[in-house]
Homo-oligomer: A and B are copies of this chain.
Amino acid sequence: MTEPTFQPRTTVEQVEESTDLAPKFGPNGLMPCITSDAQSGEVLMLGWMNDEAFRLTITTGEAHYFSRTRQTVWHKGATSGLVQKLVEARIDDDQDALWIKVAVTGSGASCHVGYRSCFYRSVPFGAAAGKPLEFREPQKTFDPKLVYGDAPNPTLL
C-alpha cells in the first residue's frame, strides 16, 4: 500500500485527460463525494471529504468523511457498525468530485435518520410541481435513538 500522492494541477489537459490524481478541494477544503450501493446502484448519500478523509478512504478502502457539523474526520460506521467498504472509486473530469461504490456492512443502511438511503423522499416536478414530498422507502431500517443515543443530530437548520 502506497500513500497516494496528489499531483499539482498544471494544465486542463493534465486534469481531464491524464492518469494523474490531481484533486481540487473547494474553498472550504472539502470535496463532495457521491456514495452509491455497489449492488443496487442506489445513491445512498452525498458526503464531504477533506484531504485527510480522501487519503484515509483510498488507503484503508473504507469510506471516511469530514463532518461539517462536528468539524472532524469521521470513519463512517464507527458508531453504527454500518461501515462502507469500497468496491470502486471514481473521480470526475475536473477532479473536484468523487463517486464511490460501496458495500455497506450490517443492515446496509447509510442514513442517520434510519433509512437505507439519505434520499428517501422524492420531489414532485412538471405537472406535479409544488406538491408535497413523497416518501419512497416503506420504513426505517433502524431506530436512530437506539443506535446514536444522545449524540447530537448532524442536521443543521
Q: Which residues of A contact B (CB under 8 A)?
A: 1-5, 9-12, 15-21, 24, 32, 34, 36, 40-43, 45-46, 57-61, 86, 88-94, 97-99, 111-113, 115, 118-127, 129-136, 153-157
Contact = CB atoms under 8 A, between A and B. Distances in A.
A45 B75 CA distance: 25
A86 B126 contact: yes
A119 B3 CA distance: 22
A91 B129 contact: no
Contacts of A2: 129-131
24 contacts: A4-B130, A15-B155, A15-B157, A19-B133, A19-B134, A19-B135, A20-B132, A20-B133, A24-B156, A43-B99, A46-B97, A46-B99, A58-B123, A58-B125, A58-B129, A59-B125, A61-B126, A86-B125, A89-B125, A91-B119, A91-B121, A92-B119, A93-B118, A97-B119
